[in-house]
Amino acid sequence: MSRWGEGRKAHNPDEKSRKFVEAMAASGIDQDSIGRVVGVSDATMRKHYAEELATAAAKANAMVGQSLFHQAVGGPERDWTKASTTAGIWWEKTRMGRREPKHEVALSGSVGSYDLTKLSYEDLERLKSILAPAAGLLGNPSGNSAEGST
């Protein structure tokens, strides 16, 4: 016994704790948080669980990738009637580098809102003559003709 007491009990990882650490690391939980849950220091995590911490993310990515691949191709039996279009598109974009074409949008004229109270009578009449044909095409929900309204 040391002069400071018995100290901390040595950590002896078993298969269950290794699987637990690996599952947490695979889920993206940081090493510090895993150590707190397991009840060990950062140094002890590195000492006893280095392999689990180093390989968990790659193993998880492989499992998810395999699952998505099987969804994209219709399972291990390649039954195309069971294939997922969404998984196939994801695979195309992330693994094959495909991209959707960019669409250009061209606007003509001004975009914004205007205070019509600031327009002159002549400008309002000109606007009315421009919009009247469009109002006729869309129909007038009020039942009044475009000519008779002011």
pLDDT by residue, tens only, the chain of 150 residues: 455 556 678 889 999 999 999 999 999 999 999 999 999 999 999 999 999 999 999 999 999 889 988 998 898 888 888 899 989 888 888 888 888 888 777 766 666 677 778 888 898 888 888 888 877 765 555 545 544 444
Residues 6+ positions from 49 with CB-CB distance below 8 Å:
13, 18, 21, 34
| pLDDT for position 110 | 65
pTM of full prediction above 0.85 = no
Q: Is 22 exposed, middle or buried (0-12, 13-18, 19+ CB in 10 A)?
A: buried
Q: From residue 108, give the alpha-carbon distance in Å to each of 4, 104, 114, 138.
A: 82, 13, 16, 21
pLDDT at 7: 65
